[in-house]
């Protein structure tokens, strides 16, 4: 285990060091491709290498033409196998928190719930690595209301810290018949308004909690970003009258996520580098949006223009 | 003027006055000729009756014919302005000394003087009317008000005036200057009072009186000055104004006697000292914050603290407060960063803390928000645009397995041919025709070997040189006859051995059977000779080897 880790680390560092050269090559190939497509003469600095590069371009396919970055590299092999998730809570959870975690277990396919007991986090993560888990999720609470969510990708992956707001659980809706049972097919995903680099990263983290679905599933999980608050919704849809009509039925819990930290290490690595942290006391925080684009406000100017 | 005529005109004027009094107010709204005539007559009478009382009037009688209301009013105005001021004086005098009114009152009740009283009353009326008319100069177009007000006021003031004037009449009547209004003695008294007040002599008066007097001095000061002293000093004026403001009322050092013995020095030299003293004093009063001086001054002052002084007091107290506040330690809200230990318990709850929140507030999930989200989801579903995880293309680690294709068409070779080929392969492996796949395989293997050689050369530390491929093909020296017997068509005799390869010898080559006797003998002899020569060599070697050891075998060879 140790030796394997060492080897993986060395490979990672080596690939990271190659990035610069690969990027240069990629740029050159891109220029040649453009020149060929537009029918323009090839730029003079590439004339010597043009033949060799053109050969390489011919041999490339979609997969190999994209240069790989070490960012998000953690998810390079994530799609090979289905994700395996472990769900736990903070110590001494209350009954509502346990219920919420149970619901989350149904929402996320391939998830396992575990009682926290008195375990230490580093132990949990070590054992998860040994058992080939891909994610560990921790849920925190305040007096029964869930208020924190920590998603940690496993081999060495990034950890995202979210705050939960406006939580509505299935248990709150007392009428069991109205809500019915929850299907456990792999759901389709909708990720809306994750436009910035940080937004793309967050989208990746959330995306890889779910496995590859079948194209015809009726279950939909939505993560919609509105001014840096990500709304989580869970629906089942039906198309009663032809393909264009869609009927939605909301099942599952509903909450808002607010990202406040992304770390480049797992949960127990306290000295890991912080990729991004929220700055609420910065004067321009109100004007900026970190995860997505703001919708344009309805201006008087616009009305005047029209 | 003829008295009888005057009497007649007065009678008619009085009549007209009564007539005017009796008309109803609404009748005044419509201009009527007779009413205006009556009014004109009445005012003319009043004017002429008043004329003796004002020495300065320019008109002997009121000119009414051909003049319009404006001009008539102005004439009356000219007459009455000086009268007003004197009347005011009289009224104030009576305010001060109410006992004089009662004196006049008592005097006026006497029987034999009823006529006089009546006359007085009439003249009073006239006076009052005039006054009232003068008072209502402002309302030029309203005739109705005048007469009514006149009458009312006239009735009120009748008695006062009557008594006063009677006593005056009873008193001395000096020359032409004096009449009911202007009494020299009274004027003198008044002037003395005024002077006393102005120049700071002792007189205890109430605040109200002092105020009124101040106002009087302000109003009439100029008049008095004009009357008494021709040229006024700058100093004087300044002081007089200050006096008017009541600053220097506190100086009561001088006695009343000084008034009468007042000389130039008093006014113009001593005044300076006084003024400087007074100024110094005032400055002291202003500068010193102690209350004792204030109290002294208050005691010394004739009047109470004046307006200005009160304002100054207020200012002083404010300044005191502010200085005290500056010396004290600041309130916690005005100190920079304050932790809980540095302020009182729960004091932050009382203060209205207001600061900007730089965080966007949490979104409130309303119906609209939910509806918009659901719309988004529906559109995505109908388009089929999901952000699912894409399966990654795994690069295959194994080569694709060879798929053996079974050719299902009938074999073209007969069974005999198949057996033939097998037999040929066993006996003559070289002659067997090479199959197609074998050729390809061979070519491939050749290429692969070359490649492997190159790779080995690159990657191994120990280089193995290129192996020599000897293309071995079996060459059988089969007699042609045998070949011909088997008779495969394609066989050539190229693989046969050439004669040199069979035997590479020289000379006449004969077999054993072909040799003659002599030749046979010769061959035997050659053979023997060779054999002997070799044997001799061998013996020589052995002899050399066995030098030390005695040879017993020498004799044997031969």
So what's the pLDDT on residue B468? Answer: 73
Could you tell me the domains of chain A?
1-68 (no CATH), 85-287 (3.40.50.10480)
Say if CB A230 and CB A223 are below 8 A apart: yes
Decide if pLDDT at A258 tops 90: yes
How sure is the predictor about B14, in pLDDT bands with cuts at 50, 70 and 90? confident
> How confident is residue B112, by pLDDT bands cut at 50, 70 and 90?
very low
The answer to whether A83 touches A159, Cβ cutoff 8 Å, is no
Residue B149 binned pLDDT confidence (cut-offs 50, 70, 90):
very low
Report the pLDDT averaged over residues B242-259.
Answer: 49
pLDDT at position B187: 86
Please compute the mean of the pLDDT values over residues B242-256 and round it to a whole number: 47
> What pLDDT shows up at residue B109?
47
- Read off the pLDDT band of B320 (50, 70, 90): very high
**pLDDT recorded at residue B296:** 53
Q: Is the ipTM of this complex over 0.90?
A: no
Average pLDDT over residues A153-176: 87
**CB nearest A222 (choices: B365, B377, B393):** B377
- Predicted confidence (pLDDT) per residue in B160-212, tens digit: 454 444 444 444 444 556 677 778 888 889 888 888 887 765 544 444 454 55
| A4-18, B44-58, B327-341: segment of lowest average pLDDT | B44-58
Rounded Cα distance between B159 and B219, Å, is 28
CB contact under 8 A, B377 and A190: yes
CA distances from residue A128 to A85, A108, B1 in whole angstroms, order as listed: 9, 17, 140
- CA-based nearest residue in chain B for residue A165: B362
Confidence (pTM): 0.45
| C-alpha distance from residue A251 to each of A171, A177, A197, A233 (Å) | 11, 12, 31, 8
Closest Cα in chain B to A83: B389
Q: Where are the alpha helices (DSSP H) in B384-498?
A: 415-427, 436-459, 480-486
User: What's the N-to-C CA distance of chain A in angstroms?
Assistant: 66
Question: What pLDDT does residue B380 have?
Answer: 92
Distance (Å, whole) CA A5 – CA A10 = 9
For range A158-169, the mean pLDDT: 95
pLDDT one-digit tens code per residue, B261-272 = 767 777 776 555
Contact list in B for residue A165 (CB cut-off 8 A) is: 362
**Section A248-256 average pLDDT:** 91
Q: What is the pLDDT of residues A12-68, one digit of tens each?
A: 788 888 888 888 888 888 888 888 889 888 888 888 888 888 888 888 877 777 777
Separation CA B214–CA B220 (nearest Å):
10
Report the chain A residue with the minimal C-alpha distance to residue B381. Answer: A246
Mean pLDDT of all residues in chain A? Answer: 88
Mean pLDDT of B95-120: 60
> Which of B359, B360, B373 has the CB atom closest to A224's CB atom?
B373
How far lies A24's CA from each of A10, A52, A58, A61, A69, in Å? 23, 15, 18, 18, 13
CA distance B396 to chain A (A): 13
More confident residue, B324 or B265: B324
B contact set with A (CB within 8 A): 358-360, 362-363, 365, 369, 373-374, 376-378, 380-382, 386-395
Nearest residue of chain B to residue A214 (CA atoms):
B388
Tell me if B381 and A228 make a contact (CB, 8 A cut-off): no
* CB < 8 Å to A211, chain B: 389
pLDDT tens-digit series, residues B469-504: 777 776 766 665 555 555 555 556 666 777 787 777
CB contact under 8 Å between B391 and A280, yes or no, is no
Task: Judge: B392–A283 Cβ closer than 8 Å, yes or no.
Answer: no
* Model confidence band, residue B542 (pLDDT cutoffs 50, 70, 90): confident
Out of B91-95, B118-122, B266-270, B416-420, pick the least confident: B118-122
A interface test, pick of B356, B361, B363, B390 with most A CB neighbours within 10 Å: B363
What residues have CB less than 8 Å from B158, skipping those under 6 apart? Answer: B121, B124, B125, B128
Take residue B89 and report the two structure tokens written for it.
Answer: 């004086």
Averaged pLDDT, B361-376: 92
């Amino acid at each position: 285990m140790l030796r394997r880790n060492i080897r993986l680390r060395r490979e990672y560092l080596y690939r990271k060091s190659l990035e610069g050269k690969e990027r240069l090559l990629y740029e050159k190939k891109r220029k040649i491709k453009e020149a060929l497509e537009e029918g323009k003469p090839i730029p003079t600095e590439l004339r010597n290498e043009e033949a060799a590069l053109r050969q390489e371009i011919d041999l490339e396919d979609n997969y190999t033409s994209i240069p790989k970055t070490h960012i998000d590299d953690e998810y390079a092999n994530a799609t090979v196998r289905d994700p395996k998730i472990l769900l736990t809570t903070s110590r001494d959870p209350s009954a509502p928190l346990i219920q919420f975690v149970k619901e989350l277990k149904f929402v996320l396919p391939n998830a396992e719930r575990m009682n926290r007991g008195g375990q230490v986090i580093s132990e949990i993560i070590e054992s998860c690595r040994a058992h080939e888990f891909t994610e560990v999720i921790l849920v925190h609470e305040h007096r029964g209301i869930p208020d924190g969510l920590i998603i940690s990708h496993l081999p060495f992956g990034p950890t995202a810290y979210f705050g939960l707001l406006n939580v509505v659980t299935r248990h709150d809706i007392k009428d069991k018949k109205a809500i019915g049972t929850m299907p456990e097919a792999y759901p389709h995903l909708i990720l809306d308004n994750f436009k910035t680099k940080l937004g793309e990263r967050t989208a990746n983290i959330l995306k890889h909690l779910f496995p590859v679905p079948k194209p015809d599933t009726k279950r939909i999980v939505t993560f919609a970003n509105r001014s840096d608050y990500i709304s989580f919704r869970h629906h089942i849809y039906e198309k009663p009258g032809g393909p264009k009509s869609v009927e939605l039925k909301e099942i599952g819990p509903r909450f808002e996520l607010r990202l406040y930290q992304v770390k480049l290490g797992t949960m127990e690595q306290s000295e890991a580098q912080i990729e991004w942290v929220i700055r609420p006391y910065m004067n321009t925080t109100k004007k900026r949006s970190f995860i997505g684009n703001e919708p344009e406000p309805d201006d008087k100017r616009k009305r005047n223009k029209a | 003027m003829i008295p009888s005529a005057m009497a007649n005109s007065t009678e008619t004027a009085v009549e007209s006055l009564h007539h005017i009094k009796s008309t109803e107010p609404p009748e005044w709204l419509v201009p009527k000729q007779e009413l205006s005539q009556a009014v004109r007559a009445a005012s003319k009478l009043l004017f002429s009756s008043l004329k003796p009382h004002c020495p300065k009037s320019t008109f002997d009688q009121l000119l009414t014919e051909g003049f319009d209301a404006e001009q008539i009013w102005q004439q009356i105005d000219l007459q009455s302005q000086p009268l007003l001021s004197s009347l005011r004086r009289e009224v104030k005098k009576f305010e001060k000394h109410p006992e004089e009114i009662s004196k006049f009152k008592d005097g006026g009740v006497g029987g034999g003087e009823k006529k006089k009283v009546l006359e007085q009353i009439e003249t009073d009326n006239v006076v009052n009317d005039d006054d009232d008319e003068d008072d209502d100069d402002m309302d030029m177009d309203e005739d109705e008000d005048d007469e009514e007000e006149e009458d009312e006021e006239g009735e009120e003031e009748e008695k006062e005036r009557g008594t006063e004037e009677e006593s005056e009449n009873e008193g001395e009547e000096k020359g032409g200057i004096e009449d009911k209004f202007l009494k020299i003695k009274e004027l003198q008294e008044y002037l003395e009072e005024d002077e006393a007040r102005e120049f700071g002599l002792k007189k205890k008066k109430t605040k109200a009186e002092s105020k009124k007097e101040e106002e009087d001095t302000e109003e009439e000061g100029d008049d008095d000055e004009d009357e008494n002293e021709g040229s006024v000093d700058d100093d004087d004026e300044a002081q007089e104004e200050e006096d008017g403001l009541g600053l220097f009322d506190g100086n009561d050092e001088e006695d009343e006697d000084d008034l009468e013995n007042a000389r130039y020095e008093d006014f113009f030299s001593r005044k300076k000292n006084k003024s400087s003293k007074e100024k110094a004093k005032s400055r002291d009063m202003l500068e010193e914050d102690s209350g004792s001086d204030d109290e002294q001054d208050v005691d010394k002052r004739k009047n109470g603290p004046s307006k200005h002084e009160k304002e100054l007091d207020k200012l002083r107290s404010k300044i005191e407060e502010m200085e005290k506040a500056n010396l004290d330690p600041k309130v916690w809200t005005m100190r920079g960063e304050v932790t809980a230990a540095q302020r009182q318990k729960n004091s932050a709850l009382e203060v209205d803390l207001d600061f900007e929140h730089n965080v966007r507030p949490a979104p409130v999930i309303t119906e609209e928000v939910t509806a918009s989200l659901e719309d988004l989801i529906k559109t995505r579903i109908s388009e089929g645009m999901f952000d699912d995880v894409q399966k990654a293309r795994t690069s295959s680690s194994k080569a694709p397995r060879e798929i053996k294709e079974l050719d299902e068409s009938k074999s073209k070779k007969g069974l005999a041919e198949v057996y033939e080929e097998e037999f040929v392969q066993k006996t003559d492996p070289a002659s067997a025709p090479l199959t197609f796949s074998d050729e390809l395989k061979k070519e491939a293997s050749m290429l692969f070997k070359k490649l492997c050689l190159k790779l080995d050369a690159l990657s191994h530390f120990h280089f193995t040189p290129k192996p020599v491929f000897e293309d071995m093909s079996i060459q059988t020296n089969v007699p042609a006859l045998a070949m011909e017997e088997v008779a495969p068509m394609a066989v050539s005799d190229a693989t046969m051995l050439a004669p040199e390869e069979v035997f590479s010898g020289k000379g006449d080559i004969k077999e054993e059977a072909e040799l003659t006797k002599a030749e046979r003998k010769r061959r035997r002899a050659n053979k023997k000779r060779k054999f002997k020569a070799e044997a001799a060599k061998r013996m020589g070697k052995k002899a050399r080897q066995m030098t030390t050891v005695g040879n017993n075998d020498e004799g044997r060879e031969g």
